[in-house]
Chain A
Amino acid sequence: MTDYASRIAYLERIKPTKIIIWTLLFLGGIVMVTPLAFMISTSFKTGADVFSLGIIPKNPTLENYIYIWTESQFSRWMLNSLWVATFSTASVVFFDSLVGYTLAKFTFRGQTIVFIAILSTLMIPTEMLIIPWYMMSREFGWIDTYWGIAFPGLMTGFGTFLMRQFFMGLPDELIEAARIDGWSEFAIWSRIAMPLVVPALSALAIFHFLGNWTAFIWPLIVTNSPELYTIPVGLASFNGEFQTDWEIVMTASCLATLPTLLVFLVLQKFIIRGVMLAGLKG
């Protein structure tokens, strides 16, 4: 009886506005998910079935996966991407927060100028930097090396700015207390300041990792040999000049998405908090 009554009450609470909102969200969801669904479905199709629009493959097969894993260098590209993204994320977490901390908690001559210089890098689009980066890499012999792929992302203006803002909110007394207690400036940074900005730090790390994972133009330009390709570059290399094996491209894309998905699933809580903290869209 009571169950029935509560159900009625529940239904009565569903207002027309809610129905409209739900419908819109549902449609939005479909628009977002459909391409993904096709990607997954195509990865299980045979070459002949690629252009049949059914979501369920007619002759489901694992051949594409086997092909990619055995015939292409995909696993190598995956490791390349993982290595470059991890390395540059670690570097960003370390250096951006170190510089951000220094800008926030010390006063020194030329501080404002340094800060403005760092801020102004935020206004320069990556595309504009590619030519100078390339010339620099050629000069130093960094072309076709891991270092060449990674170096532009080892420190970011955005991360420095973000970390500075968070360190500004840290009470000076915490730092002064540790200083009186005899800890070195580096120990104060690593033992007191860093643990207190972990939410901001993890947001920065996640965004940087994902950004690096999907980076395309620079790795494409700086690498020549297929052994050094990162995943996006490798994916593009599947596009032939005259024809493209879509089932292979889609399979590789599926595999490329997996780590990202994993990051999201494991760190969901941090990502949502991070987005709110940084006031950004993911």
Chain B
Amino acid sequence: MAEVLLENINKNFGKIKAVDDFCLQIMDKEFIVFVGPSGCGKSTTLRMIAGLEEISSGNISIDQRIVNNTHPKNRDIAMVFQNYALYPHLSVRENISFGIRAQKLPKNEITSRTLEAAKILGLDELLDRRPGELSGGQKQRVAMGRAIVRKPKVFLFDEPLSNLDAKLRHKMRVEMKKLHQQVQTTTIYVTHDQVEAMTLADRIVIMKDGKIEQVGSPDEVYHKPNSQFVASFIGSPAMNFISGTLEFLNNRNSLICDGGEMIDLVDWPDLVGSKLTMGIRPEHMELKTEKSSKVINTVLDAKVSVLEPMGHEVIVTCDSNVGEVIGKYTGNTKLKVGQTIHFEFKKENIHFFDENSGKRVS
């Protein structure tokens, strides 16, 4: 059980700045997820916490103790790697106990802890198999077993589920969450998959080019993204963006789009004259087949171009005079390709970002 503190961490590989002034306080028992596109420095940050990579500058503390120059084995952490890193020549039992055997614990303690970990992960039946005889999900579980048997202060996971197929990934995600609820060890989890991040995290750290873009609960990063990057990264299908300039015309605020088109905005903040990008999530585009008589929301007219039925909802890709937009539709009326529809969006669901900096405004 421990707090992890990262203060102004930098990491350079020659000229490449892999991690740039990374500051973060991770609470005891917290499940924190680093998410971002490939190459943004997630693994490097994790490896620096593990001690597998030296830090160029800054301070890393685990449980109030600065560990900048501490050997990995003395940091009391356990790490699970993307490709599991199981020892192919050892049985599941030996793989799981390998970590505690180094600590010269009494034999019966090693045995009981190995069995306990195997039980938690449902590996009891497989203890005498070799990794080569296991399925992907089982290998993954052995890798986790190797981590929990150590009873470390901090778990580090580097994309542990990305080698599994979609169905298994969901199952393991649930098990991961259960496991964390059970053992309550501080966990730092790296992934490029925003769904994993949203579903697992207490707090999400969204990274881009070695920098933190936003830290927040899944709710916060979803409802109040700090930047256009975060907005586009979180959520699927991705948020719709429309760029333009906010003007006050004919007694109302309008967004004059880059193409010259105009969207009337009902009840808008005082940002007249700014170059802005407006963002609306597909699930917040309320789809109407007929125009409401009383205009209370902002309306965008569009023409259906592609329909993707998902069972409980339909993803509707449309052409509009501001470009392609995507919406989600859960209504009963059958839509047709080519049909004209109207998207309405409420004020609270619209995000504005500065067009140059990408930062959130309002």
Name A's B-contacting residues (CB within 8 A).
Answer: 171, 173-174, 176-183, 187, 192, 195-196
- A interface footprint on B47-87 (CB within 8 Å = 1, 0 otherwise): 00011100000000000000000001100011101110101
Interface size class of B (residues with CB under 8 A): 20 to 34
- Among listed B17-25, B95-103, B212-220, interface-contacting one: B95-103
CB<8 Å pairs between A and B, sample of 14: A171-B85, A173-B81, A173-B82, A176-B72, A177-B85, A179-B52, A179-B72, A180-B50, A180-B51, A180-B99, A181-B73, A182-B102, A182-B103, A196-B88
**Once the chains bind, are B85 and A183 in contact (CB under 8 Å)?**
no
* Chain B nearest CB, measured from A106 CB (Å): 13
The answer to whether A183 touches B52 (Cβ under 8 A) is no
Given A174-B85, A196-B88: A180 touches B98 (CB 8 Å cut-off) = no
Quick check: A195 and B85 within 8 Å, CB to CB? no
B150 at the interface (CB under 8 A from A): yes
Partner of A180, one of B78, B82, B83: B78
Expressed in whole angstroms, the minimum distance between the Cβ of A261 and any Cβ of chain B is: 31
Partner of B83, one of A173, A181, A192: A173
Chain A residues in 8 Å Cβ range of B102: 178, 181-183, 187
B89 on interface, CB distance cutoff 8 Å: yes
Contact indicator B85/A179 (Cβ below 8 Å): no
Residues of B within 8 A of A173 (CB): 81-83, 85
Q: Are A181 and B89 in contact (CB under 8 A)?
A: no
User: Could you tell me which residues of chain B, from 270 to 321, have a CB within 8 Å of some CB in chain A?
Assistant: none
Indicate if the CB atoms of B87 and A176 lie closer than 8 Å: no
CB distance from B58 to the nearest CB of A (A): 21
A179 to B79: give the CA distance in the assembly, Å.
11
CB distance from B64 to the nearest CB of A (A): 21
Partner pick for B81 among A177, A183, A196, CB 8 A cutoff: A177
> In the assembled complex, which residues on chain A have CB atoms less than 8 Å from the CB atom of B150?
181
- State which of A176, A181, A196 has its C-beta within 8 Å of the C-beta of B98: A181
B73 A176 Cβ-Cβ under 8 A: no
Q: Are B89 and A180 in contact (CB under 8 A)?
A: no
Q: With CB as the reference atom, state the residue of chain B lying closest to A195.
A: B89
Nearest 10 A/B pairs, CB to CB: A181-B99, A173-B85, A182-B73, A182-B102, A177-B85, A173-B81, A195-B89, A180-B72, A183-B102, A181-B102
Closest to A198 in B: B89
Most buried by A among B51, B83, B102: B102
Q: Which of A173, A183, A187, A196 has the most CB of B within 10 A?
A: A173
Q: Which residues of B contact A177 (CB under 8 A)?
A: 79, 81, 85, 146
**Complexed CA–CA distance, A179 and B52 (Å):** 9
A237 to B218, CA, bound (A): 86
Minimum distance in angstroms from B188 CB to a CB of chain A: 14
**CB within 8 Å for A182 and B99 given contacts A176-B52, A196-B88, A196-B89:** yes
* Contact indicator A179/B73 (Cβ below 8 Å): yes
Bound complex: CA A176 to CA B102 (Å): 14
- Bound: A176/B79 CA distance, A: 9
CA distance A178 to B78 in the complex (A): 10
Nearest Cβ on chain A to B130's Cβ, whole angstroms: 12
Residues from chain A with a CB closer than 8 A to the CB of B83 are 171, 173
Provide the bound-state CA to CA distance between A37 and B98, in Å: 54
Q: How far is the CA of A161 from the CA of B349 in the complex (A)?
A: 63
B87 to chain A, nearest CB (A): 6
> How far in angstroms is the closest Cβ of chain A from B82?
8
Q: Which residues of B contact A181 (CB under 8 A)?
A: 73, 98-99, 102, 146, 150
Interface residue from A171, A180, A195 paired with B77 (Cβ < 8 Å): A180
List 8 additional A-B contacts (Cβ < 8 Å) besides A176-B79, A180-B72. A173-B81, A173-B82, A176-B85, A180-B99, A181-B150, A182-B103, A187-B102, A196-B87
Choose one: B87, B103, B146; the contact of A192 (CB below 8 Å). B87
A180 touches B87 (CB 8 A): no
